[in-house]
Structure 1
């Protein structure tokens, strides 16, 4: 047991000290830097360093991830962080019990809002932190309101600098997400052509792109219709690319040339979407490598569909009148996503769904609020550390506990250990800087320099970011006691967060059976519906199939995330599957999902003949998946003969009824094999068919 925990902590430590690229998003950093300089200069003239703090808070609010217009989000953030939170803190300074209640509720609300996006939750938590900070520091209401006044002025100066160019295209966040989707598709196509696997499968960016678009208010969706259409075209492209990848008898040289052309087209679309520049995509994809198909090739019509989809995606990058285009395009994304209710209605429905004790979101929000409240109580109980530290420092413990505690063991411990290390080094730097000559101009220059270093290294990871912000805070207090207090509070706050996670864990390993069962049920419904659509293409409901596909991708994404985090947890003895068994299970899950995508890609059009015999097997396939879902959730072993009937169904009977334009019986045979492998993986065993195929791949 101790060994397991030691390995898990070591893994988390390595993760926490991983260094990323500095100076990411330089345009946003430059605007914040100008705001800090402006706030510092005005603060120097007025001898009020709180203006510098306010400008930094406004800049911090602008850099937290957002999905709405940058100026509106920045203004709201500045008001919340520099006015609302501090004012409430000033007035609850003398009412300790009310402060604890509001602090608990504020962090709890932030934890719940995290399920809609980290930006929304973090703004609520940081506003609560500033409320607690003013409650701890303000000696009385008039003095506290004076501090708030200077914070607000600094925040206003920081927000004004957000008006500086470059302003970027409209719907910049949505464009970034859609561009990331096309980049992921391009990487997937290149990797498949080389016989490898893309570092980030495209369904994840697809879910992110859909999420960012559904956040838009109803009155803005018509103007963003081209982005909705691009997401729809991305799914259409992915389906047709799947046909190219699964074609029987394809010439490798032709396929590699086609893949290179498709990947290049997708990358061009991604760049154009991200920049928002008109006429950025001008290539004609109807000629060149994509037109090179063998005479009589069964899926030649799908290649034409792929060319049409790429051409349409290039056209959608710049639509002169997006509002009118929303009425004419027939994309599934426009009919499904465009018509969904607004963020508030969907958010309230989602909140109601999560207000159950079994919800990991609710448990994390409660744990987060408890940890932060305990940290505030510990900070107040320690006073001024017996004269060694600064009074009114409890909010630093509150801040650290609220920021360090995450839903997973790996993130909580990596942040706790790396932040503590960075704080120790930063405290030493801040203490050393206090030895500089006591000159007001030098003091303000050093504050600017430390904040610039923070901005430059904020994207590199926790240690370097916390090192510079701790040095800034320590020097801001202009004393060795300030440096010592900030460092000690960070270490103790991190310890509280990590200890509470161990006392009240939400292990991903224990949630895997539930998440797997959820995905298998949805995927079973999808496979059954696809089989019925194959039987009679004219009755297929593309919107219903798209909705099932979206639900299946979302459920698989949750399982994949939990499986990834479970590998770094120290409680494998509580898990139903060992590490190798879990990797085998994840591989089987992906294989079933690929087969569903393949059935969707090869689905006959409404005017083409179907496979009537497939109707007889839609329900059995659904029932098999339902039995596997029940076995995953309850822990019961699935019947070894559960999938035996599927082999004859898909391998023999349907093979003789496939139309001539279909690629062959493998389109159904792979479904059978993938379901059998999933059942075997639940036993912790590799299916014989998979071992044979793996050996063949290794031999080639």
Structure 2
């Protein structure tokens, strides 16, 4: 047991000390830096340090990730952090039980809001920290309100600097999410072009892009119609890319050229969406498209042209939408992107408030990991506040009324995962120790006011420059800054000790009340198999009778399957870093095999969708029998995954005989325009590999390649 925990802690520590790239998003950093200089300069003239703190809080509000307009979000956040939270804390001073209640409720609210995004939850937690800080520090209502006044003035000065150019394009947050989706597709295409097997980036970026669009009010969705259309095009492009990837009979040179050209086009679309400038090249230039038309094999050429023609058409539409996105000023029912066929439910669904209330209501169940973590986070933070009060002034070595630093550290460090909690706890502690030493050394400088405020500006500049590099360097400079704000050496000692103890409380809570993702994997896998089985069955029925295809139903099932798969794959990634491999149902290699099988089944569903016959084409009657058998098989697999029972041997054999006669026929495909035996044979073999992986078995070597009807 000790070996497992020791190895996991060392891995978390290495993760925590990774150094990222400094000076990320320099335009935003310059605006924040201007606000800090302005607030600190005015504070120097008036000899009020709280102006510097308020300007920093305004910059922090602007830097926390957001989806809505930057000015509106930063203004609302600045008011909450600089005025509302501190004012509540001032009136709570002297009522210990009220401060504890506010601490618990505020952190619990922030933990629940994490379900909608890190930025929203962190704003609630930081506001609660400021409430608790004023409740600890305020000597009285009158003096406390004076502190709030200076905080508000500093926040206003910091926010004014957010008005400086350059300005973001409209829907900047949504643009970034959609651009990230196309960048992920381009990266996958580049890996395939080099002959590698890409770990597909979806459904993560796809779900993030969809979630960002759901936050738009219904009244603004017409103006963002091209963004909805671009996400729909990305879904189709992903399916066509998978269809070409599964075409193993296509020559590798042609496949490489195909994916290299597709990667260039996708990167161009991503750049156009992110920057607001037109793409470097347009699709309507009279060229033959980004995909080569010949591979040297006549049969493969037919398949390649059929698949890549659809991809070329989708890429052309995406480029057209990207160019229109730059110029669009409005939209409506007459706009071609108003009702995109892929996203009709998303585009016409309820607004953010209704969806948010439904999501919160769904999370208020003990089975919800969000609710359990929010309760654990609130309880741990409140305990940290009590520990801070119990330590007093550290026997004269530190400062009194410092409990909010323990409260802050515990609330920031404790995460739902073992690796994140320990990586942040260890790295923040190391950074705080280094920052405390720097703060102690700076306390030896002469007591000149101008020098003091100049040092504050320099330390905040270093914080801004290194905030994107990771926890150690960021905490080092912010600890040194806090030490300079306080009483020199005693402030440095207090901030350092509180950070180390708060991190220790968070890590202890993670050990005493763990949330092992390994325990959740069987249930998450069972849920995904059931949803994916329903989706595959619905697709097979659509093959049997194309005229009755319901696009809205397929869209809903596809989104549910992606969401369930994302939940399983994220839990599997977190489980890899947990120190309980010996207690988990699947070992590390078995879990990686299982994740690969899940990914392959999803590609099979994408292949069925990409090759789906049109409503005017004749159906494949035998697909209905395939759908019934597939539904029964997936239900058995879901039960086996959830209960731990071993799947029966030969379950998938019942699927092979559905198209057996057609697959054995070496002649042309029975269905016009579709290689029916090949398509369903690929899906069958992927389901068979999933069955083996659920039982902890390795797929047979013969499954690595599929013999097509040709």
Superposition deviation, residue 345 in structure 1: 0.9
Q: 1:355 aligns with which of 358, 361, 364?
A: 364
Residue in 1 that maps onto 2:331? 323
Q: Secondary structure at the match of 1:20?
A: coil
Superposition deviation, residue 653 in structure 1: 4.9
Superposition deviation, residue 654 in structure 1: 6.4
Residue in 1 that maps onto 2:596? 587
> CA–CA distance in 2 between the matches of 1:199 and 1:147?
52
Residue in 1 that maps onto 2:191? 191
Task: Compute the RMSD of aligned alpha carbons.
Answer: 1.9
**Quick check: 1:672 aligned with 2:684?**
yes
Superposition deviation, residue 659 in structure 1: 1.4
Residue in 1 that maps onto 2:162? 162
Residue in 2 that maps onto 1:458? 467
**Quick check: 1:686 aligned with 2:698?**
yes
Q: Map 1:9-28; keep pairs closer than 5 Å.
A: 9-28=9-28
Given that 1:651 and 1:669 are in contact with CA atoms closer than 8 Å, whether structure 2 keeps it comes out as no
Q: Secondary structure at the match of 1:486?
A: helix
Q: Secondary structure at the match of 1:142?
A: helix
Q: Deviations over 1:301-359 (max 9, x none)?
A: 44333222212111111334541376433523441211111111111111111111121
Q: 1:308 aligns with which of 306, 313, 317?
A: 313
**Quick check: 1:500 aligned with 2:509?**
yes
> CA–CA distance in 1 between the matches of 2:286 and 2:696?
48
Q: Map 1:404-483; keep pairs closer than 5 Å.
A: 404-483=413-492
**Quick check: 1:510 aligned with 2:522?**
no
Q: 1:344 aligns with which of 344, 353, 359?
A: 353
Superposition deviation, residue 293 in structure 1: 2.3
**Quick check: 1:129 aligned with 2:150?**
no
Residue in 2 that maps onto 1:277? 277
Given that 1:93 and 1:138 are in contact with CA atoms closer than 8 Å, whether structure 2 keeps it comes out as yes
Q: Deviations over 1:219-244 (max 9, x none)?
A: 11111101000001111222222333
Q: Deviations over 1:645-676 (max 9, x none)?
A: 11222444567674142246231112111111
**Structure 1 pair 642–115 and aligned structure 2 pair: CA distance change class (3 A):** same
Given that 1:422 and 1:467 are in contact with CA atoms closer than 8 Å, whether structure 2 keeps it comes out as yes
More moved, 81-90 vs 309-318: 309-318
Given that 1:614 and 1:654 are in contact with CA atoms closer than 8 Å, whether structure 2 keeps it comes out as no
Given that 1:110 and 1:122 are in contact with CA atoms closer than 8 Å, whether structure 2 keeps it comes out as yes
Residue in 2 that maps onto 1:603? 612
Given that 1:174 and 1:212 are in contact with CA atoms closer than 8 Å, whether structure 2 keeps it comes out as yes
Unpaired segments ≥5 residues, structure 2: none
**Quick check: 1:116 aligned with 2:142?**
no
Residue in 2 that maps onto 1:241? 241
Given that 1:520 and 1:626 are in contact with CA atoms closer than 8 Å, whether structure 2 keeps it comes out as yes
> CA–CA distance in 2 between the matches of 1:178 and 1:460?
25
Given that 2:177 and 2:205 are in contact with CA atoms closer than 8 Å, whether structure 1 keeps it comes out as yes
Given that 2:380 and 2:506 are in contact with CA atoms closer than 8 Å, whether structure 1 keeps it comes out as yes
Q: Secondary structure at the match of 1:338?
A: helix
Residue in 2 that maps onto 1:365? 374
> CA–CA distance in 2 between the matches of 1:542 and 1:612?
20
Given that 2:268 and 2:279 are in contact with CA atoms closer than 8 Å, whether structure 1 keeps it comes out as no
Residue in 1 that maps onto 2:390? 381
**Structure 1 pair 192–658 and aligned structure 2 pair: CA distance change class (3 A):** farther
Q: Deviations over 1:421-457 (max 9, x none)?
A: 0000000000000101110000000000000000000
Given that 1:226 and 1:322 are in contact with CA atoms closer than 8 Å, whether structure 2 keeps it comes out as no
Given that 2:545 and 2:621 are in contact with CA atoms closer than 8 Å, whether structure 1 keeps it comes out as yes
More moved, 93-102 vs 408-417: 93-102
Q: Secondary structure at the match of 1:143?
A: helix
Unpaired segments ≥5 residues, structure 1: none
More moved, 615-624 vs 405-414: 615-624
> CA–CA distance in 2 between the matches of 1:240 and 1:159?
46
More moved, 208-217 vs 669-678: 669-678
Residue in 2 that maps onto 1:641? 650
Q: Map 1:488-567; keep pairs closer than 5 Å.
A: 488-567=497-576
Given that 1:285 and 1:307 are in contact with CA atoms closer than 8 Å, whether structure 2 keeps it comes out as no
Superposition deviation, residue 283 in structure 1: 4.1
Superposition deviation, residue 196 in structure 1: 1.4
> CA–CA distance in 2 between the matches of 1:124 and 1:503?
26
> CA–CA distance in 2 between the matches of 1:279 and 1:357?
49
More moved, 100-109 vs 571-580: 571-580
Residue in 1 that maps onto 2:3? 3
More moved, 627-636 vs 392-401: 627-636
Q: Secondary structure at the match of 1:29?
A: helix
**Structure 1 pair 226–321 and aligned structure 2 pair: CA distance change class (3 A):** same
**Structure 1 pair 303–199 and aligned structure 2 pair: CA distance change class (3 A):** closer
Q: Deviations over 1:491-510 (max 9, x none)?
A: 00000000011111110010
Q: Secondary structure at the match of 1:649?
A: coil
Given that 1:511 and 1:562 are in contact with CA atoms closer than 8 Å, whether structure 2 keeps it comes out as yes
* TM-score, normalised via structure 1 length: 0.96
Q: Secondary structure at the match of 1:467?
A: helix
Superposition deviation, residue 680 in structure 1: 1.1
> CA–CA distance in 1 between the matches of 2:515 and 2:476?
30
Given that 1:299 and 1:661 are in contact with CA atoms closer than 8 Å, whether structure 2 keeps it comes out as no
**Structure 1 pair 665–617 and aligned structure 2 pair: CA distance change class (3 A):** closer
> CA–CA distance in 2 between the matches of 1:559 and 1:520?
10
More moved, 668-677 vs 15-24: 668-677
Residue in 2 that maps onto 1:661? 673
Residue in 2 that maps onto 1:36? 36
> CA–CA distance in 2 between the matches of 1:196 and 1:439?
62
Residue in 1 that maps onto 2:207? 207
**Structure 1 pair 200–596 and aligned structure 2 pair: CA distance change class (3 A):** closer
Superposition deviation, residue 537 in structure 1: 1.4
Residue in 1 that maps onto 2:172? 172
**Structure 1 pair 285–354 and aligned structure 2 pair: CA distance change class (3 A):** farther
Number of residue pairs aligned between Structure 1 and Structure 2: 695
Superposition deviation, residue 547 in structure 1: 1.5
Q: Secondary structure at the match of 2:395?
A: coil
> CA–CA distance in 2 between the matches of 1:111 and 1:650?
51
**Structure 1 pair 655–26 and aligned structure 2 pair: CA distance change class (3 A):** farther
